[in-house]
Amino acid sequence: MIELPESRTLAGQINEIVKGKTILNVYANKSPHKFAWFRGDPGNYHNLLSGKIIEGAKAYGGMVEIKAEEMRLIFCDGTNIRYYQAGEEVPLKHQLQIEFDDFSNIVCSVQMYGGIWALNLDQTEGYCQISEEKISVLSDDFNENYFNSLFTQMDNKLSTKAFLATKQRIPGLGNGVLQDILFNARLHPKRKMSSLSDEELEAMYKSLKNTLFEMTARGGRDTEKDLFGCSGGYKTILSKKTKGLPCPICQSEVIRESYLGGNIYFCPVCQSLEQ
C-alpha cells in the first residue's frame, strides 16, 4: 500500500523519468476491479488526457499526483504504479495504462482497493484534499506542539494504533509504517492513549518523525515497490517479512495478530501491553 515514504519516492522518480513526456494513449479500466475507484467515467480518460504534457508530480500523505497541463491524476492506497520503457512488455491486466509519445508506459494496477482519479485543476476530491491541506510529518512545521494538538480528550479511549493510523490525523501514516514507529517508541499497538505518560508521548512523537524520515530517505520500505518494481531500501523491523523472527533487541519472537481491520506486529517483551 502507498504510504508516505512510498508516495515521496514515486513522485520523485516520476519527476526524473516522466516529466516532459506527452501522453499518447490512455486505457482505463481495461481489467475491471470492484474496488478500483475512478472519478467520473474511466472510458473518458483518454479524451481528457491524450495530448497533455506531463509537468511534474508531487506527493502528499499516501497519495501521488501527476500534473498534465490543466489535468491532474491522483493515485492512492493500494494502487501500484510501474514504469515500462519503450519495447518492454506491458502487463495485460491493469486498471490504467498511460502510453507516452516515446512509447514508454506507466501502468497502474489495484491490489485490494485503490483510487485513480482524473480531475481538472479546479476539481477536488475530499479524501485527498485533507491530505494536501494538512501539515506533512516530514515538515519542520510538524513539531511537538503540533503533534500534541492532534490529541484531544475524545481520543483517550483510542489505542495507539487507532490514534496514529485512522481519521487522517497524520496523512500517509497507515498500518504499514505504524509497526516500526511503535516498536521504536517501545509502545504496544493496543495500548490506550490515556495510559501513556508524558515521556511515552514524547517517545511516540520522536519515533514518528525519525522513523518516517529514515523510511523516506531510504526510498520506502522493503515490503513495497518503487516505480521500477524494486523494493524499498528501508528494512522493516516489524512486518510480514519478520513475523516469527527474533526481536533485534531482546530476541523474543515477533508476534502477528489481527486487530482493527488489519495485522499488527510487535515484540511482546519490548512492547509490553502491561503498564
Contact (CB, 8 A) for 53 and 69: yes
What is the structure's pLDDT at 124?
A: 80
Per-residue pLDDT reduced to its tens digit, 89-139: 999 999 999 999 999 999 999 988 999 999 999 888 777 888 889 999 999
Per-residue pLDDT reduced to its tens digit, 146-190: 999 999 888 999 999 999 999 999 999 999 999 999 999 999 999
Per-residue pLDDT reduced to its tens digit, 189-212: 999 999 999 999 999 999 999 999
Q: Say if residue 35's pLDDT is above 80.
A: yes
What is the structure's pLDDT at 31?
A: 94
Q: Which residues contact 261 (CB under 8 A, 6 or more apart)?
A: none
Percent of the chain scoring above 90 in pLDDT: 89
What is the structure's pLDDT at 275?
A: 66
Q: Say if residue 252's pLDDT is above 90.
A: yes
What is the model's pTM?
0.95
Nearest to 116 by CA among 230, 231, 262, 2: 2
Q: Say if residue 245's pLDDT is above 80.
A: yes
Query: Residue 57's pLDDT band (boundaries 50, 70, 90)?
Result: very high
Contact (CB, 8 A) for 67 and 5: no
Delimit the domains of the chain by residue range.
Answer: 4-133, 144-266
Contact (CB, 8 A) for 202 and 193: no
DSSP 9-40: HHHHHHHHHTTTPBEEEEEESSS--TTEEESS
What is the structure's pLDDT at 183?
A: 98
Nearest to 32 by CA among 95, 117, 106, 74: 95
- Out of 1.10.390.10, 3.30.365.10, 1.10.8.50, 2.60.40.2470, which CATH number does the structure's domain 144-266 have? 1.10.8.50
What b-and-e string marks burial along 183-204, b requiring 16 or more CB atoms within 10 Å of the CB?
A: bbbbbbbbbbbeebeeebbebb
- Out of 3.20.20.140, 3.20.190.10, 3.40.50.970, 3.90.550.10, which CATH number does the structure's domain 4-133 have? 3.20.190.10
Q: Say if residue 230's pLDDT is above 90.
A: yes
- Summarize the confidence of residues 16-21 as an average pLDDT: 98
What is the structure's pLDDT at 128?
A: 81
Query: Residue 247's pLDDT band (boundaries 50, 70, 90)?
Result: very high
Q: Say if residue 220's pLDDT is above 70.
A: yes
Nearest to 13 by CA among 79, 70, 77, 59: 59
CA 272/CA 189 separation, integer angstroms: 10
Q: Which residues contact 273 (CB under 8 A, 6 or more apart)?
A: 188, 190, 191
